[in-house]
Chain A
Amino acid sequence: MPVMPHWFRHLSWQALLVSLVSGGIIHIVATLVIPQFATASGVKRVSAALPLNNMKVLPRITAENQILPFAGPDVRLAVCRYDVSNGPINVSAVLPDKGWSLGIYSMQGDNFYVVPAPDFRRGEVNFQLIPPAEKVLGFFNIGRSIEASASQIPVAQAQGLIIVRAPMRGRAYQAEIEAELQRAQCGLSSR
């Protein structure tokens, strides 16, 4: 029969239970709190140098010009920092080839809406971001705005980022990719 260590006999099952439950609570709290101590979230890093409600093509990513850690160098980005507090934002972009995409990010970095380039054809994207207050059933966080059409996207938070992402297949394509990214637009609606 195995011999129990001397100290083991001093342990109480109540202490074991309290330790396990406390461990679980500490685990959950730490998981939720640790991100709050992040020096700068990805969204904040990108937003820092961007004008509001304006699409800007970011320069090519190099060692000397890298905003985000682990940012792939063969991707070019056009980014718009939006704020729908003062009204809807009109967004348009061209997704000319496979691998291109348009994503809408919340300030927490969640990519809550994404449009990939369609296969075998040139995609044009046009939509309007509408403020959270315009939701009919906003109180229950369901439903769409009364005026919301298929081309309107209600956002849960007033601020966030729109990112048009283009894979850079080689430096020879740089000018062409930049020209397509320059066509992306984002601005306050004049309705």
Chain B
Amino acid sequence: MIANVILFVGLAVVGGLGSSWYMIEKGASLTTIRSGPWVAWKSAGRADADPYTRAHFLRRGMLPVSSSLATTFQATADSDGKTLYSSCDYLIEGQEPSASFWSLAVFDDTGQLIPNPGERYAFNSANVMRSANGQIDIRLARSARPGNWLPTGGAGRISLLFTLEEPRSSAEDGRVLQLPTIRRLACR
């Protein structure tokens, strides 16, 4: 009898609620596309979005751009899978995406921009400095760094949003993009 009750609680309650939480918070290959640490929801902001995508954005209080216009990737970990912290310095590097407009912004883990005197929260395809071979590298750090520097203040856990504006987005047609890597340089 007790074994059956434990089975019920484990499978029905923990399994049912846990799998629902996982599908809403993290997503699966059915609902998301992944490239390294970057995750985008395939049907974000669309009327035909699946219930997990809908719940994901409603729960977070977000108003996503339709994935038929733009693909928004989010990263909460570096390319080695370690959580992003404001106490660490990171280098985001890679080839510039071919999108007509892209933007990379840094937030705290609740989605708020990190206050800084220069009001520097993001780089985009119009204001980023590129190297001679067309590579982009953006540094995340608490204190000023040369080049493309985004301040992370004392935010604790941080989150990156990489938005690619494309007439037909990668989320919609399921292409896997080669997005920049996120490398941890040092931690305090």
Contact = CB atoms under 8 A, between A and B. Distances in A.
Interface of A: 7-8, 10-12, 15-16, 18-20, 22-27, 30-32, 34-35, 37-43, 45-46, 61-64, 66, 68-75, 98-99, 101, 103, 105-106, 108-112, 114, 116, 119, 163, 165, 167-170
Main secondary structure of the interface of B (DSSP, over half): mixed
Contact of A38 (B23, B59, B103, B113): B59
Contacts of A108: 54, 58
A108 B58 CA distance: 8
A73 B101 CA distance: 14
| Cβ-closest 4 pairs across A and B | A69-B111, A26-B16, A42-B63, A169-B126
Contact of A69 (B61, B121, B124, B163): B61
Interface string B12-50: 110111011101100000000000000000000111010
Contacts, number: 191
A26 B20 contact: yes
Main secondary structure of the interface of A (DSSP, over half): mixed
B122 A19 contact: no
Interface stretch (B3-11, B82-90, B175-183): B3-11
B41 to A, nearest CB: 12
B131 interface: no
Contacts of A168: 124
Contacts of A23: 11-13, 15-16, 19
A20 B11 contact: yes
Given A23-B11, A63-B116, A66-B113, A34 B55 contact: yes
Interface of B: 1-4, 7-8, 10-13, 15-17, 19-21, 23-24, 45-47, 49, 51-52, 54-55, 57-66, 68-69, 74, 100-101, 103, 105, 107, 110-116, 119, 121-122, 124-127, 159, 161, 163, 165, 167
B97 to A, nearest CB: 14
24 contacts: A7-B3, A11-B3, A16-B11, A22-B16, A27-B19, A30-B20, A35-B58, A63-B113, A69-B61, A69-B107, A70-B159, A70-B161, A73-B113, A73-B121, A73-B122, A99-B101, A101-B69, A106-B47, A108-B58, A114-B69, A116-B167, A163-B63, A165-B65, A170-B127
Contacts of A20: 11-12
Given A15-B7, A35-B55, A74 B124 contact: yes
